Amino acid sequence: MDAAREDSAAARESREAAGESREAAGESVEAAYAAEAAARRSYGKLVAFLAARTRDVAGAEDALSEAFASALSDWPVRGVPASPEAWLLTVARRRMVDGVRSRVHAEDAAAHLLLLEELAEPADDSGVPDERLRLMLVCAHPALPANVRAPLMLQAVLGFDAAAIGSAFLVAPAAMGQRLVRAKAKIREAGIAFEVPPRAAWPDRLDSVLAAIYAVYAEGWSDAEGTDPQRRNLADEALWLGRLLANLLPQEPEAAGLLALMLHAQARRPARRNDDGAYVPLAQQDVARWDAALADEAEALLLHASRFGVAGRYQLEAAVQSAHAVRRLGQAPDWTAIVTLYAALQALTGSPLAALNRAVALAHAGDAQGGLRALEALADEARLADYQPYWAARADLLTRVGRKQEAAAAYERAIGLERDPAVRSFLQGRMAAL
């Protein structure tokens, strides 16, 4: 009996320990979800607030990283706070205060003491100011190299890593990482002010800000079903920023052009997958599934932008989308006009992507051989070597001219580069149809 009681007690203790373990595991999962959600909602907002006071973007990112690490160890024990962002801001600010105190020297004590005063916790820490636009304008400062301004915004404002940014701008991750490190050091060493410049200075910084917003939208667009937690809500975030700029700068046609471009793409988003989750190319999409209100808003913005008589990159790209959108009115796209628009875009930007799209449009306009020649002229373009749409377009154009063996090789390359299973399956079907 004693042995039985001992066994029963041991079993009870084991069950209790197992229950406590499951409970702890559940709390850890809840804390991790809460931290992930806070990062998605407010990473850029938190970095912007911290960096605005220190002019040290890298330092703000490091402090926030430490705050998230603290959250993952503290929240499972103490519970997720009512305002996760305010908790993270408080901890990150304390980390920065500790760092400033450790650097105080006689020769610059005044500057450090002033910074400590700015980092002092506000009386009400229940809300986190949104200073993302300010940080974006700082990242677009003329003192920074033009090729790093938009990537810096993506990292500092939205927390993208160097690999994702490099992919968006067709630059190797290592090279992009080096650019970003140098840019952050430049902000700190040059003492670039974290302040909104006079409205007259905004146009000089606008191109970089628009490029960053568009890159954000493109990343969100690539996750068609919204299942990737790193990309979730990015399209909505980009649309929010685009609307903000278009409202702040109603006399800037490119701000309206970018918003029109994103709205046209967003209007078609529900039709990119069928009910079974299979990828549906633009030409085969059910126009009844397009969002008519978003498309109408895009057309109104494009008309507004056209009244200024200055065509820019985003207006031209939005005009291409508008040319496709006529399908909802029962009309066929005017491929000759689309070729002309892409030619103008290529002349304006020198972008190999514009040249690639022009080649595809030529084939759709009835000149498959001309399109293939235009595409083959891009064969030595290093930025397209690992770009899936290039190989998919090459496969399609080779198929159109009857060069099926070469088309199959191009399809194999495109399939190997594609990350989206639905698109990969679509390409495999095209290849099998050869």
Which residue, 261, 240, 53, 222, is CA-closest to 158? 240
SS3 378: coil
DSSP string, 4-48: HHHHHHHHHHHHHHHHHHHHHHHHHHHHHHHHHHHHHHHHHHHHH
CATH topology of domain 334-434: 1.25.40
pLDDT for residue 222: 72
CA–CA distance, 168 with 180 (Å, rounded to integer): 14
Which backbone phi and psi does 27 adopt, to 5 degrees?
A: -65, -35
Q: Which residues of 108-138 are buried (b: 16+ CB within 10 A; e: fewer)?
A: eeeeeeebeeebeeeeeeeebeebbbbbbbb
DSSP string, 196-232: PPPGGGHHHHHHHHHHHHHHHHHHHHT-TTS--TTTT
Average pLDDT along the chain, 434 residues, taken 10 residues at a time: 48 45 60 82 78 76 89 90 87 78 50 42 42 75 84 76 76 86 83 72 82 85 57 75 84 95 95 93 94 96 95 96 95 96 96 95 96 94 92 96 96 94 94 92
β-bridge mates for residue 168, sequence order? none
The structure tokens listed for 84 are 């996760």
Which residue, 195, 240, 183, 242, is CA-closest to 61? 183
Residue keyed to tokens 């069928």: 274
The half-sphere exposure of 269 on its side-chain side, counting CA atoms within 13 A, is 19
CA–CA distance, 349 with 152 (Å, rounded to integer): 21
Q: 347 exposed, middle or buried (CB, 10 Å; 0-12, 13-18, 19+)? A: exposed
pLDDT for residue 257: 97
The structure tokens listed for 315 are 């207006």
Domain range summary for the chain, segments of one domain joined by +: 11-116, 334-434
| Residues 211/260, Cβ–Cβ less than 8 Å | no
The structure tokens listed for 176 are 């992009």
Residues in the chain: 434
SS3 109: helix
SS3 321: helix
Q: Containing H/E element for 316?
A: helix 313-325
Residue keyed to tokens 């992930």: 36
| Residues 273/279, Cβ–Cβ less than 8 Å | yes
The structure tokens listed for 32 are 């991790």
| Residues 182/151, Cβ–Cβ less than 8 Å | no
CA–CA distance, 176 with 164 (Å, rounded to integer): 10
Residue 397: how many other CB atoms lie within 10 Å: 25
Q: Containing H/E element for 120?
A: none
CA 412-415-420 angle, to 5 degrees, is 175
pLDDT for residue 285: 95
| Residues 378/352, Cβ–Cβ less than 8 Å | yes
Q: What's the predicted TM-score (pTM) here?
A: 0.70
CA 414 to each of CA 81, 324, 387, 402: distance values in angstroms, whole numbers, following the listed order: 46, 24, 8, 19
